[in-house]
Chain A
Amino acid sequence: MTAAATSTSPPTSRGGQSGVRLARSRRNAELSLLLLAMVLVAAYGAMVEASVLDTVTPSFWVPAAALSAVFLGLHVAIRFLAPFADPALLPAVALLNGLGVGFLHRLDLARATPSERAELATFAGTGGRQLAWTLISVALAAGLLAVVRDHRSISRYAYTLGLAGIVLVMIPAVLPPSISEINGAKLWIRVGGLSIQPGEFAKLALLAFFAYYLVRKREVLSLASRRFLGVDFPRGRDLGPVVVVWLISLLVLVFEKDLGTSLLYFGMFVATLYIATERVSWLLIGLVLFFGGAYLAYVLGDMIGGPFANFYLRANIWLDPFADPYNNGYQLVQGLLALGSGGMFGAGPGAGQPLKLPEVQNDFIFAGLGEEIGLFGLSALLVVYLLIVERGLRAALAVHDSFGKLLAGGLAFTLGLQVFVIVGGISGLIPLTGQTTPFLSAGGSSLMANWLLIAILLRISDAARRPVTGGGSPSARPTGGPPEQLHGAPTEVIRP
């Protein structure tokens, strides 16, 4: 397995495009789904205008058309760069991204005075900025697809990426609060008018490193163990990296005052560890460490305050949001009220009062949407997220190399976990933390990072579904070229 890092062989199946296409590329399905998603986005825009402006302006379709152009560009790029990529990913993400832009535009309309509303340009306001960010993010995603022709080449830079990830995580913690703190969470780098959330990118970098590291270490982590209470526990020295990541995530919790990010990193690591080793013990250790750490932070926050005070406060707000509804509990209370006011069917696009919500363009966008599209709409959005995650996992299942499996599985799980953390946070399921809602929240960092994540998933799913010259379906093929030998099949054999 040590050869994985140095694998430089080109993708084996590049010739497959011109070969016998046993697996269909399904690009036309992607195109139809994408167009359907854009029709939905345009319809959403029209409904918002009908509700907020009492009329549908002749230019209601412009944002949807601009988005369509951007996504169609990516679609075309995929046709050339990753023709066998999963056809559901792009339309699903485009739908979320488009609704996000539409909702942010709807917020701009609500903020504008009636006289200003008519002149609100397509690229003005939060919605316009988000549209511009979408353009940049999608271009980056296409660029990634163009540059990384084989996902395994990412593993060459694993250590660089790991270091970069840690640095990115640490920057906001080290910077003075005036630069890094927004709403009590130190997650930002604010330079001029621009706010960057380095953690969003760190997530990807760290995950690439985890995947590489675990592929190398998986045998020793999974085989060398002691049995205790019927569960195989790893040896003490093998615990090292886990403990390091645990400490990092706790440091994030304490110094960046953000439970969500901490939970995200740690969950990401434990999940990849589990996927790599297939050991339930890692899950147990991970859960015990995390919840033990969180409980300790809570107790310490109660007793000594200091850096733990923020976490203690947030946990208490979660336990009883209505105890202090105008100050500490204000955000969560308003989120719950918005969701409750929406009820089953919602007030209708544009008919709610999202401006009652603090941070409605960021953390609380799901609650703001929930007021207008109701339980049914939110359930549909959750299903779309679930679809993206499960499609990512499917790519992980189908791809042949271990690195690809870990990377795709980890990315898909991280995306799902992030949705869980923020949606669970604003709906009072878990303590509220400042996470962005992937593809919906306003903000360039989050959008770019998540589109890069999708690009990687597209790349891996392309590799997974790409037919191989010489016939045989990919799943039936026992071993392929050298990279598969290095990364994939043999590792499956080791584990009995």
Chain B
Amino acid sequence: MNAPLRRVGLVVMVLFGLLFANLNWIQAYKADDYRNSDYNGRVQVAEYERKRGNIEAGGTALAVSKETDGELEYLRTYPGGAKYAHAIGYKPVNLADTGIEEAENAFLAGTSDQLIGDRLRDLVTGDETAGANVLLTISKQAQDVAYEQLRENRKGVSKGAAIALDPRTGAIQALVSMPSFDPNPLASHDSDEATAAYNELQQNPDGPLKNRALGEVLPPGSTFKIVMAAAALENGVTQDTKIPAGPSWTPPTSGEPIGNAAPSICPEAEVTLMNAVTESCNTGFAQLGVRLGADTLKEKARQFGFEQDDLTVGRLGEDGESVAASRTGSMENADGSVDPAALAQSSIGQRDVRMTPLQGALIAATVANDGSQMRPYLVSQILGADRTTNYYTAEPDELRQPVGDQVAADLREMMESVVQNGTGRNARISGYTVGGKTGTAQAGPDTPDHGWFIGFALDKDGNPVSAVCVLLEEAGDGGSAEAARIAGQIMQAAIASPGSR
């Protein structure tokens, strides 16, 4: 019986050899695949072993990690709740990160190459130094006002956005998207709770997860007339040049007449450009657009930032949250020739023209900042866990120069006139010069109009201190006036906030 016993011994050797070979396959060859697999919860546990850095604004912590007793050592909490949800994003355990939490993950989580010093020290001391802290440009006061005013807008609108920035730097002062959401349940360590909260938000028809300030594109309506006015000023028209207007105008080849918002607006045959902007004269700008041509219009819009599809808002020079591209859309017939009717409607910000609230604010900021458009950003500083090591300080950067000094000055005057004498009176702030432009965009046959306001505020020395865009979706009549009122409030708060110069 010894021969078969030896063979059985051999069989066992072979079986163990198979086990060994298979373990090699799994633990050596496939190890990286399994280690980084989406199904592998270890990635997260390891991530939660180190205290994540804070996200702060104006000395207030907006995202903090708190120690827990559970398997994941730190719980991400958002003391600011819904107010800052879109400004900072959120960091769930299993779902995708968003906003600043996503863009600055390397610093917050402490995995950035720049934090190598902390990591080396950890190796020696055995501690886990927390991740770096990200300081935002958000002004607490402006954000408070933007959030409260949007939420309690007098039109009872449930969807909208507001964004304010410093025209001289591009630093974002307030960023609100409505409706908002509480990010705390999403960060829950109970994955069922987090998923349930996420699904509920996801299924909400108002889309609370969407960051409307950066991602919503809607027809800009009359706010687009600032772009048109800039094109006109560069093509031989001055503030005082009389342009054809009238109570109604029908573009050639199209039976659809373009009218004005009220009979009292530019019924005369000709108005000055100044008046056309101040009163928001549709017939004047429709004819102006057809005269200037589609190419001029599109080029000017592109120079203001339309068509850019790779803009991000976060840290300058780094990735941040993506901004949807604003578009001028098609103005051509099927055969490629320009359709004057489409061009005329596009000239007053209708048809296929689409704009994000950020783009609106950038237009106002450009005008306020002598034609120089600063790159918008949210991250002002990154401080190490010790709060003394500075890893990054924002150095404002010009994004583009859509218009020259003189054109900007003319546009400024016209926008100031809108707030002084025209449709934007609600935006006035005592002691400051405010300019702006309202917009009422037709949304569709059975949908109330969207109300827009873009504007800026100059201090008594003429320095721009804030530019803002407020959007109230489907607000109906008077939406743009309410938007102007909210914009004025936000800018006032931004001016009053300690950080502003």
Q: Which residues of A contact B (CB under 8 A)?
A: 54, 113-114, 271, 274-276, 278, 322, 325-326, 333-334, 336-337, 339-344, 352-353, 355-356, 370, 374-375, 378-379, 382, 385-386, 389-390, 393, 396-397, 402, 405-406, 409, 412-413, 416-417, 419-420, 423-424, 427-429, 491-492
Residue on A with the closest CB to B38?
A325
B60 within 8 A of A: no
Provide the bound-state CA to CA distance between A198 and B146, in Å. Answer: 70
Show 30 residue pairs from A and B whose CB-CB distance is below 8 angstroms, ordered by the A residue.
Answer: A113-B69, A271-B11, A333-B39, A336-B30, A337-B34, A337-B42, A339-B34, A340-B31, A340-B32, A340-B34, A340-B37, A341-B34, A344-B31, A356-B41, A356-B42, A378-B27, A382-B19, A393-B6, A393-B8, A405-B1, A409-B8, A413-B8, A413-B11, A413-B12, A417-B12, A417-B15, A420-B15, A423-B19, A424-B19, A429-B19
Q: Which residues of A contact B39 (CB under 8 A)?
A: 322, 325-326, 333-334, 337
User: A396 vs B8: C-alpha distance in the bound complex, in angstroms?
Assistant: 11
State whether the Cβ of B500 lies closer than 8 Å to any Cβ in chain A.
Answer: no
**B269 CB-CB contact with A under 8 Å:** no
Task: Report yes or no: B4 in contact with A278, Cβ–Cβ below 8 A.
Answer: yes
Question: In the assembly, what is the distance between CA of A477 and CA of B422, in Å?
Answer: 121
A348 vs B12: C-alpha distance when bound (angstroms): 29
* Interfacial chain B residues near A382, Cβ < 8 Å: 16, 19-20, 23
B12 touches A343 (CB 8 A): no
For B121, list chain A residues within 8 Å (CB). none
B421 is an interface residue with CB less than 8 A from chain A? no
B13 at interface, CB cutoff 8 A: yes
Would you give the shortest CB distance from A176 to chain B, in whole angstroms?
32
Looking at chain A's contact residues, the main secondary structure is: helix
- A424–B14 alpha-carbon span in the complex (Å): 13
On whether the beta carbons of B16 and A343 are closer than 8 Å, the reply is: no
Report the separation of the CA atoms of residues A26 and B30 in the bound assembly, to the nearest whole angstrom: 44
**Is A389 a contact partner of B22 (Cβ separation < 8 A)?**
no
- Measured CB to CB, the closest approach of chain B to A287, in angstroms, equals 11
Q: A355-B71, A428-B22 are in contact. Are A416 and B35 (CB under 8 A)?
A: no
Q: Is B40 an interface residue (CB 8 A)?
A: yes
Closest chain A CB from B122 CB (angstroms): 13
A274: min CB distance to chain B, Å: 5
Confirm or deny: B28 has a beta carbon within 8 angstroms of a beta carbon on chain A: yes
Report Cα–Cα, A378/B45, bound state, in Å.
Answer: 24
CB distance from B93 to the nearest CB of A (A): 13
Determine if B261 is an interface residue (Cβ-Cβ < 8 Å).
Answer: no
A339-B34, A409-B5, A429-B22 known; A374+B27 contact, CB < 8 A? yes
Asked if residues B26 and A428 are in contact (CB atoms below 8 Å), the reply is yes
Known: A337-B37, A396-B5, A420-B15. 10 other contacts (CB 8 A): A271-B8, A337-B40, A340-B31, A340-B37, A344-B27, A353-B45, A370-B23, A424-B18, A424-B22, A491-B1
B9 is an interface residue with CB less than 8 A from chain A: yes
Complex CA gap A342/B9 in Å reads 30
Q: Which residues from chain B contact A420 at a C-beta distance below 8 Å?
A: 15-16, 18-19
Expressed in whole angstroms, the Cα–Cα distance for A417 and B15 within the complex equals 8
Interface residues of B (CB under 8 A from A): 1-9, 11-13, 15-16, 18-20, 22-24, 26-28, 30-35, 37, 39-42, 45, 69, 71, 126
Q: How far is the CA of A338 from the CA of B486 in the complex (A)?
A: 55
**Which B residues lie within 8 Å of A352 (CB)?**
42
* Minimum CB distance partner of B37 in chain A: A337
Query: Taking the nearest CB of chain B, how far is it from the CB of A113, in angstroms?
Result: 5
Interface of B is mostly: helix
**Residue of A with least CB distance to B67:** A114
CB-CB under 8 A for A336 and B34, given A113-B69, A424-B19 = yes
- Take A355-B71, A386-B12 as given contacts and tell me if A343 and B19 are in contact as well, using a CB distance cutoff of 8 Å: no
Given A340-B34, A382-B16, A427 and B40 contact (CB-CB distance below 8 Å): no
A342 to B13, CA, bound (A): 25
B46 to chain A, nearest CB (A): 8
| Residues in A whose Cβ lies below 8 Å from that of B42 | 337, 341, 352-353, 356
Q: How far is the CA of A211 from the CA of B15 in the complex (A)?
A: 23
Determine whether the beta carbon of B12 is less than 8 Å from that of A427: no
Residues of chain B contacted by A389 (CB below 8 angstroms): 9, 12
* A396–B2 CA distance with the chains assembled, in angstroms: 8
Chain A residue numbers with a CB within 8 Å of B31 are 340-344
Q: How far is the CB of B25 from chain A (nearest CB, A)?
A: 8
Q: Which residues on the B side are within 8 Å of A405 (C-beta)?
A: 1-2, 5
Q: How near does chain A come to B345, taking the closest CB pair, in angstroms?
A: 51
Q: A397 and B22: CB pair below 8 A?
A: no
Output the least CB separation between A320 and chain B (Å).
Answer: 14
In the bound complex, residues from chain B placing their C-beta under 8 Å from that of A385 are 16
A314 to B12, CA, bound (A): 25
A114–B4 touching, CB < 8 Å: no
A333 to B40, CA, bound (A): 9
Q: Which residues of A contact B20 (CB under 8 A)?
A: 379, 382
Cβ-neighbour of B23 out of A54, A276, A378, A396 (below 8 A):
A378
Q: Could you tell me the distance in whole angstroms from the C-beta of B6 to the nearest C-beta in chain A? A: 7
Residues of A within 8 A of B41 (CB): 353, 356
Closest A residue to B70 by beta carbon equals A113
Nearest A residue to B71 via CB reads: A355
Contacts of B126 in A (CB 8 A): 54
A454 CA to B261 CA, complexed, in Å:
96
Cα-based distance from A467 to B142 in the complex (angstroms): 95
Which residues of chain B come closer than 8 Å to A337, judged between CB atoms?
Answer: 34-35, 37, 39-40, 42
**B1–A276 CB distance below 8 A:** yes
> Judging by beta carbons under 8 Å apart, are A406 and B1 in contact?
yes
Determine the chain B residues whose CB is within 8 A of the CB of A370 once the complex forms: 23, 27
**Whole-angstrom distance between the alpha carbons of A413 and B37 in the complex?**
37
Interchain CA distance A278-B3 in the complex, whole Å? 8
Interchain CB contact under 8 A, B1 and A275: yes
Q: Which residues of B contact A114 (CB under 8 A)?
A: 69
User: Given that A276-B1, A409-B5 are known contacts, is A427 also in contact with B26, CB under 8 Å in the complex?
Assistant: yes
B41 nearest in chain A by CB position: A356
Q: Which residues of A contact B1 (CB under 8 A)?
A: 275-276, 278, 402, 405-406, 409, 491-492
Q: How far is the CA of A430 from the CA of B27 in the complex (A)?
A: 17
* Most A CB within 10 A of own CB, among B4, B18, B40, B45: B4
Contacts of A333 in B (CB 8 A): 39
Q: Give the contacting residue for A379; candidates B8, B9, B23, B34; CB below 8 A.
A: B23
Measured in the bound complex, the distance between the Cα atoms of B30 and A370 in whole Å is 14
Determine whether the beta carbon of B9 is less than 8 Å from that of A390: yes
How far, in whole Å, are A236 and B24 apart by their CA atoms in the complex? 44
CB neighbours of A390 from chain B (8 A):
9, 12-13
Q: How far is the CA of A379 from the CA of B32 in the complex (A)?
A: 19
Inter-chain contacts of A343 with B (CB < 8 A): 27-28, 31, 35
Q: Could you say which of B2, B5, B34, B69 has the most chain A C-beta atoms within 10 Å of its C-beta?
A: B5
Residue among B27, B30, B41, B71 with most chain A CB within 10 A: B27
By beta carbon, the residue of chain A nearest B127 is A54
Residue of B22, B26, B126 with most chain A CB atoms under a 10 A cut-off: B26
Contacts of A492 in B (CB 8 A): 1-2
Contact in complex: A342, B27 (CB < 8 Å): yes
Min C-beta distance of B444 to chain A, whole Å: 42
* A325 neighbours in B (Cβ, 8 Å): 39
Min CB distance, B181 to chain A, in Å?
Answer: 26
- Contacting A340 at CB < 8 Å: which of B11, B18, B26? B26
Please measure, in the bound complex, the distance between the C-alpha atom of A427 and the C-alpha atom of B13, giving whole angstroms.
18
Q: Shortest Cβ distance from A59 into chain B, in angstroms?
A: 22
How far does the alpha carbon of A333 sit from the alpha carbon of B38 in the complex, in Å?
Answer: 11
Query: Shortest CB–CB separation between residue B285 and chain A, in angstroms?
Result: 57
The 10 lowest CB-CB distance pairs between A and B, nearest first, are A340-B34, A375-B27, A343-B31, A416-B12, A420-B15, A337-B40, A429-B22, A275-B4, A393-B9, A340-B31
Whether A340 lies near B12 (C-beta < 8 A) is: no
| Shortest Cβ distance from residue A230 to the other chain B in the assembled complex, whole angstroms | 19
* Closest beta carbon of chain B to A148's beta carbon, Å: 22
Closest Cβ–Cβ distance, residue B199 to chain A (whole Å) = 16
A426 to B164 alpha-carbon distance, docked (Å): 57
Taking CB as reference atom, which chain A residue is nearest B22? Answer: A429
